[in-house]
């Protein structure tokens, strides 16, 4: 059973639909006991960092997420769900993130000829042995929608990166915690393979 955390922040249905197309049993929930009992947990998200943290707090999910990651349940953050795993973001100065991983969430710097938000397909440089990218060719294209990006403190946790105005840490893996800045549920067959790899962990 895979639990998708519902905290009123975006792309739940597309993630649920993608997992169901892989014949996974899925629940969408904000019930802490249901989430803690799940075999795997996904934190999706679109929207602003501060608003999302307020919602997680309001629904009593901050401690739930920390407990899930502590007890070695495979956990996947998607898009804003990746950013929330870190301490803070330029998007909402003063707002505290979950602080599960170390790094900075920075605004993508403006560059002539490039639009921000970064919206569209980009190829990713995949690290060998990255579990989320098993059977996925290096330089595969995935779908991004974001104005802020991760610069992880520890390069060792970076599983994939991309270039868009700057060097972007596009995916991380640390023990049982996985996250993608891009949207696997919108990334066609490559994205489905990523979700399949996660569901088979």
Q: Which residue out of 79, 91, 146, 180 is catalytically annotated?
A: 79
The tokens describing 137, both together, are: 């060719």
Instruction: Clarify whether 169 is annotated catalytic.
Output: no
Q: Which residue out of 16, 91, 173, 185 is catalytically annotated?
A: 185
Torsional sign, CA 27, 33, 36, 38:
negative
How far apart CA 43 and CA 112 sit, in angstroms, is 33
Instruction: Clarify whether 180 is annotated catalytic.
Output: no
Do 162 and 122 contact (CB within 8 A), yes or no? yes
The tokens describing 43, both together, are: 């934190």
How far apart CA 178 and CA 123 sit, in angstroms, is 19
Q: Which residue out of 34, 104, 183, 200 is catalytically annotated?
A: 183
Instruction: Clarify whether 185 is annotated catalytic.
Output: yes
Residues with catalytic annotation? 79, 183, 185
């Amino acid at each position: 059973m895979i639990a998708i955390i519902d905290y009123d922040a975006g792309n739940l249905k597309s993630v649920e639909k993608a997992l169901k197309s892989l014949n996974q049993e899925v629940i969408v929930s904000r019930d802490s006991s249901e989430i803690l009992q799940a075999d795997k947990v996904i934190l999706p998200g679109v929207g602003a960092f501060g608003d999302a943290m307020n919602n997680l707090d309001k629904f009593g999910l901050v401690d739930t997420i920390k407990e899930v990651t502590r007890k070695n349940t495979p956990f996947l953050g998607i898009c804003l769900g990746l950013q929330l795993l870190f301490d803070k973001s330029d998007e909402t100065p003063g707002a505290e993130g979950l602080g599960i991983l170390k790094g900075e969430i920075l605004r993508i710097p403006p560059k002539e000829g490039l639009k921000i938000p970064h919206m569209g397909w980009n190829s990713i440089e995949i690290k060998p042995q990255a579990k989320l990218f098993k059977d996925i060719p290096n330089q595969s294209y995935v779908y991004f929608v974001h104005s802020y990006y991760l610069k992880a403190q520890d390069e060792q946790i970076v599983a994939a990166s991309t270039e868009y105005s700057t060097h972007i840490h596009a995916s991380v893996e640390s023990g049982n915690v996985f996250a993608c800045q891009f949207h696997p549920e919108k990334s066609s067959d490559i994205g489905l393979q990523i979700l399949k790899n996660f569901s088979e962990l």
